[in-house]
Chain A
Amino acid sequence: MAGLILRNVAKSYEATKVIESIDLEIKDGEFVVFVGPSGCGKSTLLRMIAGLEEISSGTITIGDQIVNEVAPAKRGVSMVFQTYALYPHMTVYKNMAFGLKQAKTPKDEIDQRVRNAAEILEISSLLDRTPKALSGGQRQRVAIGRAIVREPEVFLFDEPLSNLDAALRVQTRIEIARLHERLGTTMIYVTHDQVEAMTLADKIVVLRDGNIEQIGSPIELYRNPSNMFVAQFIGSPKMNFFDSDDLTDAGRALINSRADILGIRPEHFIVVPTGSGVIQGKPNLVEPLGEYALVHCETVRGSPFIVKTTDPENIKKGSVMSFDVDPAVTHRFDQLSQGRIV
């Protein structure tokens, strides 16, 4: 088992900088999730750790070894690919045994490790099939099994759930969490799904345009996002932003000339009698989701915002309503720098 240290890691393809300069420490046994919008460099960063992509500058340390020049298989990492990347012409057993065979592991040890991993993943009955004869979910398990048998120091996952349907995604997510608990191995997981990030991570790394925007535990990022990008990226539906023209006098009292943006999460609104509260808005669409409803509103000025409420019966579509919020859960930002003002 091992931790990782990234120092000034950068990557460019010819003239384009894809990863700017990343400093990151990952503790032994930690579950770290890289999130960010498409194209922000998550996969590239992961592949640099895996050794599939050369790094343009900086150092990557796994355990106590600088691995910049070390071949992928010698880094003690296993990777689960988004497309599974199973060997189509080999049985499940051979798929899982292939890496161990390359490492000249004794035959009976290979057998024991493969069967052990198959047991954990409940694919023991599939060992003789080829990937073609498996469902998407089963393929995913085999891909994870192939990673497990090598007993790596670090697991790398690149959007492993994105090819599964919604129900299977939730189930597999839980299994990955269990696996981490059971093995206690360091895991790095790439996703653009913030729900996956929130539920799995000990530590989330939010990336944008090849830069780290913020590093923290899920709850830290939710409670104290360091800028407007993270504030909107973590949490669903995303945080609403208002400037002084949107707010009532009571709302304006919460901001000032420097901290000129007020951020309120949809779940923090409280419906209050018209005329009071921090903001007024006209609901124009209600999406009932059973347990709660999402109310799409417009401020007097026409800026859209979303309110999450557990009793949609109180919502009067088309008429102006007032909403309040506990000032303790609001966020203030500087529009110019996009940063959070405490």
Chain B
Amino acid sequence: MVAVVNKSTFSKVFWPVLAWTVAIVFFFPIFWMVLTSFKTDADAVKPEHLIVFTPTLENYLNMIENYDFWRFAKNSVITSLFATTFTLFVGVPAAYAMAFNPSRHTKDILIWMLSTKMLPAAAVLYPMTFLTKNILGLFDTHFLIIIVLSLINLPIVIWMLFTYFKEIPKEIIEAGKMDGVSIWGEIKDIVLPLAWGGLASTALLCFIFCWNEAYWTVRLTTIDAATLSKLIEGNRAPEGLFFGRLSAVSTAAVGPIVVLGWFCQKQLVQGLTFGAVK
């Protein structure tokens, strides 16, 4: 008895402390970034103004006035939204087929898809730029960014959906077949409702990845299709680092995602731990 009580007191203290420590370690850079965004560029680098400083909105106003912030933001929203939609549009049927009608080669296909993520992006930078700029003429278009973001995320999305679909007992699908459901009805009325949590967290994760993607969005755009990543990148100006400005831009770029994640927290946790809880 005594041992049990001790253990529960221990875990009552230990786990929250650990959780908070981890949370703070992860949260600190974001906190710092937000804090810095309210400092002038001059204050930002001065140690004496680390915590104590006069807050200013100068960086944000500057960002909106001089940097055309809303255009970058709009591009981010458009490309992330369309890329996520398109990825799911392709990913759901693909994962469905592999989960419910597996063939001998399904495992190989899954591995192959994942292996495409092992290719270093830098290795294809030159061909990609050359191809899109000089041959396809797609450089700096929304279309190109949407396609690139989709292709980058497709393997992960298919893997995730595949795992969630696999959780659905085969018999339920077969019961649907006995009830005479069409393929589309099976996806709509049985698979998606049962994998809803998983689907939501996959979509959310995909959206976050798209939003934060910087390697390609920075390199394959100039103005028209440039996203917030490009804006952040652009503020690493050659004249030196403007930490205040950079932080403001970064905060504005990260903000929506944090808010979105906050609202979808329940979905996310449920989706990501679906298998474990069951």
Q: Which of B172-211 contact A (CB under 8 A)?
A: 172, 174-182, 185, 189-190, 193-194
- List of 5 A-B pairs having minimum Cβ-Cβ separation, nearest first: A73-B180, A99-B179, A85-B171, A85-B175, A102-B180
Report the separation of the CA atoms of residues A321 and B44 in the bound assembly, to the nearest whole angstrom.
102
Report the separation of the CA atoms of residues A96 and B258 in the bound assembly, to the nearest whole angstrom.
43
Q: Is the CB of B181 within 8 A of A83?
A: no
Report the separation of the CA atoms of residues A87 and B174 in the bound assembly, to the nearest whole angstrom.
11
Q: Is the CB of B190 within 8 A of A72?
A: no
Which listed segment binds B: A74-82, A283-291, A301-309? A74-82
- Which chain A positions have C-beta within 8 A of B47? none
27 residue pairs of the A-B complex, CB under 8 angstroms, read A50-B178, A51-B177, A52-B177, A52-B178, A71-B180, A72-B177, A72-B180, A73-B178, A77-B178, A78-B178, A79-B175, A79-B178, A81-B171, A81-B175, A82-B171, A83-B169, A85-B172, A85-B174, A86-B172, A87-B175, A87-B190, A98-B181, A98-B189, A99-B178, A99-B179, A102-B182, A146-B175
Looking at the assembled complex, report how far the CB atom of B181 sits from the nearest CB atom of chain A, in whole angstroms: 5
Q: Which of A156-173 contact B (CB under 8 A)?
A: none
A103 in contact (CB, < 8 A): yes
- Which chain A positions have C-beta within 8 A of B175? 79, 81, 85-87, 146
* Chain B: interface size category: 10 to 19
Q: Which residues of B contact A (CB under 8 A)?
A: 169, 171-172, 174-182, 185, 189-190, 193-194
Report the separation of the CA atoms of residues A72 and B180 in the bound assembly, to the nearest whole angstrom.
7
A89 in contact (CB, < 8 A): yes
* Chain A: interface size category: 20 to 34
- Which chain A positions have C-beta within 8 A of B171? 81-83, 85
A327 in contact (CB, < 8 A): no
Looking at the assembled complex, report how far the CB atom of B209 sits from the nearest CB atom of chain A, in whole angstroms: 28
Q: Which of A51-76 contact B (CB under 8 A)?
A: 51-52, 71-74
Known contacts A72-B177, A79-B178, A102-B180; 13 additional CB pairs below 8 A are A52-B177, A52-B178, A71-B180, A73-B181, A79-B175, A81-B175, A85-B175, A86-B175, A98-B181, A98-B189, A99-B180, A103-B180, A150-B179
Q: Is the CB of A52 within 8 A of B174?
A: yes
Q: Is the CB of B193 within 8 A of A89?
A: yes
Q: Is the CB of B178 within 8 A of A102?
A: no
Q: Which of A50, A74, A85, A150 has the most CB of B within 10 A?
A: A85
Please give me the residue from chain B that is nearest to A52 by CB atom: B174
- Which chain A positions have C-beta within 8 A of B172? 85-88
Looking at the assembled complex, report how far the CB atom of B257 sits from the nearest CB atom of chain A, in whole angstroms: 30
- Which chain B positions have C-beta within 8 A of A50? 178
Contact of A81 with B180 at beta-carbon distance under 8 Å, contacts A87-B190, A88-B194, A89-B193 already known: no
Q: Which of A244-281 contact B (CB under 8 A)?
A: none
Please give me the residue from chain A that is nearest to B171 by CB atom: A85
